[in-house]
A and B are shown apart, each in its own frame.
Chain A
């Protein structure tokens, strides 16, 4: 236990500014209960067109300001240097349409001065399709305090915190989108209020690469992530529990049928964004496919996981929770039917790692499992499993040793199999 305590203290010392706190910087809207969904307006609504020349509306914001619930704003090609805010129930069901088949032709550029490309605050079921947002100091596309949204055919690049982000919201769809070179996570759903009859968020066909985290999910709930790719990040996906946001831990999420590979981006040595030197980002275990950092009833199944040098799937007690210690334990999480190592062609450093914390966690019917933490697999209970797992503090210490910059030294490298259209990213070179 001494080792464990020392490790926690060492890690906690690095947390000068939690990543979640970044998301709640003073100029962010205060989280509020999203409540019930705003009723759908009757009728088709009006359509307004935005373009650089020859249109009544030269900015997206001016068209949004004139729009009522259910209206449509069409945006023609060009680069718009603005930060669009869509606020309040009167803007619910708005559709903001760029070019869904070529999002890169309709660009919002924050030039590192503006905060969010699109901010949707308290307006339910807003659709944003067909845009690229780049160079924003916070997020590319940000939904907060809403019930339902659609983020589709979007590209977020070089944003200061997250690419596409939904916070304190119920339900929503992220699909057919890409995020890269963000300073924290490409995609993020966090602080989901607990619901007895939840509205699920569906995330499908997204690509996240070149980020410290492909997917971050602090205290995320009822999210299904499927048929997506997470590659060339430091960590592919990390549903996690943190004090920095309300409602820990992450619960009832499903991660299935994704490709999770080559997440070995050692951004500490160079990155196309401001390299985090403090906060949780410095602790991310570079080289990890999926990290369950605390959480309940999360399912990781039927994924292709290969070429991650630290570990394919890791499950670790959320020991950083100080204010909410009751939410630290892993409970009822299932890791099953995943295929590791691309049939032996592109091995992970280790396939599975689990400290044995909590109860009801199991690992079943995964293929290609060869190297694990612990090596004797004593914590890796097969599925189905009920009751307390076998906690091993030494194993937890070994897993903590994979965290941060220092963890890279503990990688187990293997050659990658070629993958058409993809190049591994370990060290960034401009």
Chain B
């Protein structure tokens, strides 16, 4: 009689891609066991503040202003830790079964705050707040590292928008610019430009000294840039496809996740009505390639071809946009088979 639990753990261990290497403060770290996150955090906490821009990087850059007719879109965002349940209902509603074992871990997430960080302006979630702008605007993001218990520098690094090196939000060792090392308790204001080639949907994520661990435990969100005056869709949902792996969560098994949760009923349930303009923005946020499928629906890709299962790689994004015309309960999921059955799936509910 085979040991089924051992077999399952082995399977999820394999799907986790076991040996995971990252570099923190110049040291290579092997993230391959449940204590790996603690080791990585300890190393990250020792990374010294960079001395300032190196001579070859000492160019000065002005802070951009909005283009004529554009405006500043201000956001106050903090990074913080929180306890996170990957399956709040405790069940997989698609397969009609309970989700066994430990499900809670300490996540690192971004949270929308009121101006001045006066109070939360929404819950701390995975993904973090979606940032919106139109072409010609600037995104002015006041970021605070409120994850003081981690004791390490964090950042916000955007994709898609235009930024000078100061607002890149990336740790580059001795070449680090001002926005690439925000120590615990500190605040920094990033200014990013929504240029004509920024139109689309993009991720942002931590890119500080410990960025791999931090993005794998929740420090990511989305940016949506529209054409000036473009009508937003009636229904808009950002979906991050990713795995929550034991070395990053400390949990005994990997979870296939969408927006930090696993299995239909825990992942976002999307509600639409026939005739509504629907946009589902799908972003890959781990080491794997995924694809995205909604039963009963097709849409055009950027090249104008009809698709129903486009691929998304790490930090790549696609948008499924269509007018709802097919009511019913539908499943959406990553169509990598080992992902979908293990929880990378959710409900799409279209009302007549």
- A residues neighboring B (CB under 8 Å): 37, 148, 171, 196-200, 202, 204, 222, 224, 226-227, 253-254, 256-257, 299, 301, 384, 386
| C-alpha spacing A224/B78, complex, angstroms | 15
Q: Do the beta carbons of B178 and A204 come within 8 Å of each other?
A: no
| C-alpha spacing A239/B325, complex, angstroms | 57
Return chain A residues, CB-CB under 8 Å to B144.
200
Return chain B residues, CB-CB under 8 Å to A198.
186-187
Q: Do the beta carbons of B186 and A199 come within 8 Å of each other?
A: yes
Report the minimal beta-carbon distance from A342 to chain B, rounded to whole angstroms.
22
Q: Does B230 contact A (CB under 8 A)?
A: no
Nearest opposing residue in chain B for A147, CB measure: B185
Q: Do the beta carbons of A226 and B185 come within 8 Å of each other?
A: no
Report the minimal beta-carbon distance from B263 to chain A, rounded to whole angstroms.
38
Return chain A residues, CB-CB under 8 Å to B182.
197
Q: Does B118 contact A (CB under 8 A)?
A: yes
Return chain B residues, CB-CB under 8 Å to A222.
187
Max chain B Cβ within 10 angstroms of own Cβ: one of A200, A204, A257 = A200
Return chain B residues, CB-CB under 8 Å to A200.
116-117, 144, 187
Mostly, the B contact residues are mixed
Q: Do the beta carbons of B71 and A256 come within 8 Å of each other?
A: no
Q: Do the beta carbons of B119 and A226 come within 8 Å of each other?
A: yes
Which of the residues A148, A202, A256 comes within 8 Å of B115, measured between beta carbons? A256
Which of the residues A197, A202, A301 comes within 8 Å of B117, measured between beta carbons? A202
Q: Does B297 contact A (CB under 8 A)?
A: no
Which of the residues A171, A197, A227, A253 comes within 8 Å of B188, measured between beta carbons? A197
Nearest opposing residue in chain B for A253, CB measure: B116
Which of the residues A196, A256, A384 comes within 8 Å of B116, measured between beta carbons? A256
Q: Does B30 contact A (CB under 8 A)?
A: no
Q: Do the beta carbons of B186 and A197 come within 8 Å of each other?
A: yes
Q: Do the beta carbons of B118 and A197 come within 8 Å of each other?
A: no
| C-alpha spacing A254/B115, complex, angstroms | 7
Q: Do the beta carbons of A254 and B116 come within 8 Å of each other?
A: yes
Q: Do the beta carbons of B119 and A227 come within 8 Å of each other?
A: yes
A-B contact pairs, 17 of them (CB 8 A): A37-B185, A196-B178, A196-B188, A197-B183, A197-B186, A198-B187, A199-B186, A200-B116, A200-B117, A204-B118, A224-B116, A254-B118, A256-B114, A256-B115, A257-B114, A257-B119, A386-B65
Q: Do the beta carbons of A384 and B117 come within 8 Å of each other?
A: no
A199-B185, A199-B187 given; name 11 further pairs at CB < 8 Å: A196-B188, A197-B186, A197-B188, A200-B117, A224-B115, A224-B116, A224-B117, A254-B116, A256-B115, A384-B71, A384-B72
| C-alpha spacing A237/B183, complex, angstroms | 31
Return chain B residues, CB-CB under 8 Å to A256.
114-116, 118
Nearest opposing residue in chain A for B145, CB measure: A197
| C-alpha spacing A171/B182, complex, angstroms | 15
Report the minimal beta-carbon distance from A277 to chain B, rounded to whole angstroms.
36
| C-alpha spacing A198/B114, complex, angstroms | 17
Chain B 173-193 against A: per-residue CB contact (8 Å), 1 yes, 0 no?
A: 000001000110111100000
| C-alpha spacing A257/B182, complex, angstroms | 28
Return chain A residues, CB-CB under 8 Å to B178.
196-197
| C-alpha spacing A69/B72, complex, angstroms | 44
Return chain A residues, CB-CB under 8 Å to B188.
196-197
Report the minimal beta-carbon distance from B329 to chain A, rounded to whole angstroms.
42
Report the minimal beta-carbon distance from A203 to chain B, rounded to whole angstroms.
9
Q: Do the beta carbons of A226 and B187 come within 8 Å of each other?
A: no
Return chain B residues, CB-CB under 8 Å to A196.
178, 188
Q: Do the beta carbons of A299 and B115 come within 8 Å of each other?
A: yes
| C-alpha spacing A198/B183, complex, angstroms | 10
Report the minimal beta-carbon distance from A355 to chain B, rounded to whole angstroms.
25
Report the minimal beta-carbon distance from B186 to chain A, rounded to whole angstroms.
4
| C-alpha spacing A179/B183, complex, angstroms | 33
Return chain B residues, CB-CB under 8 Å to A301.
115
Report the minimal beta-carbon distance from B152 to chain A, rounded to whole angstroms.
13
Max chain B Cβ within 10 angstroms of own Cβ: one of A224, A253, A257 = A224
| C-alpha spacing A63/B347, complex, angstroms | 61
Q: Enumerate the 4 nearest inter-chain pairs by beta-carbon distance, A residue then B residue, closest first.
A: A254-B116, A224-B116, A226-B118, A197-B186
Return chain B residues, CB-CB under 8 Å to A299.
115-116
Return chain B residues, CB-CB under 8 Å to A199.
185-187
Return chain A residues, CB-CB under 8 Å to B118.
202, 204, 224, 226-227, 254, 256-257
Report the minimal beta-carbon distance from B140 to chain A, rounded to whole angstroms.
11
Return chain B residues, CB-CB under 8 Å to A386.
65
| C-alpha spacing A299/B183, complex, angstroms | 25
| C-alpha spacing A256/B118, complex, angstroms | 8
B104-163 contacts to A, CB under 8 A, are 114-119, 144
| C-alpha spacing A196/B189, complex, angstroms | 9
Report the minimal beta-carbon distance from A67 to chain B, rounded to whole angstroms.
23
Report the minimal beta-carbon distance from A282 to chain B, rounded to whole angstroms.
32
Return chain B residues, CB-CB under 8 Å to A197.
178, 182-183, 186-188
Return chain A residues, CB-CB under 8 Å to B72.
384
Report the minimal beta-carbon distance from A388 to chain B, rounded to whole angstroms.
15
Report the minimal beta-carbon distance from B188 to chain A, rounded to whole angstroms.
5
| C-alpha spacing A200/B188, complex, angstroms | 10
Report the minimal beta-carbon distance from B155 to chain A, rounded to whole angstroms.
11
Nearest opposing residue in chain B for A40, CB measure: B151
Nearest opposing residue in chain A for B113, CB measure: A224
| C-alpha spacing A269/B43, complex, angstroms | 63
| C-alpha spacing A226/B187, complex, angstroms | 18
| C-alpha spacing A199/B186, complex, angstroms | 5
Report the minimal beta-carbon distance from A93 to chain B, rounded to whole angstroms.
13
Report the minimal beta-carbon distance from B206 to chain A, rounded to whole angstroms.
16
Report the minimal beta-carbon distance from B292 to chain A, rounded to whole angstroms.
38
| C-alpha spacing A171/B187, complex, angstroms | 11
| C-alpha spacing A224/B119, complex, angstroms | 10
Nearest opposing residue in chain A for B144, CB measure: A200
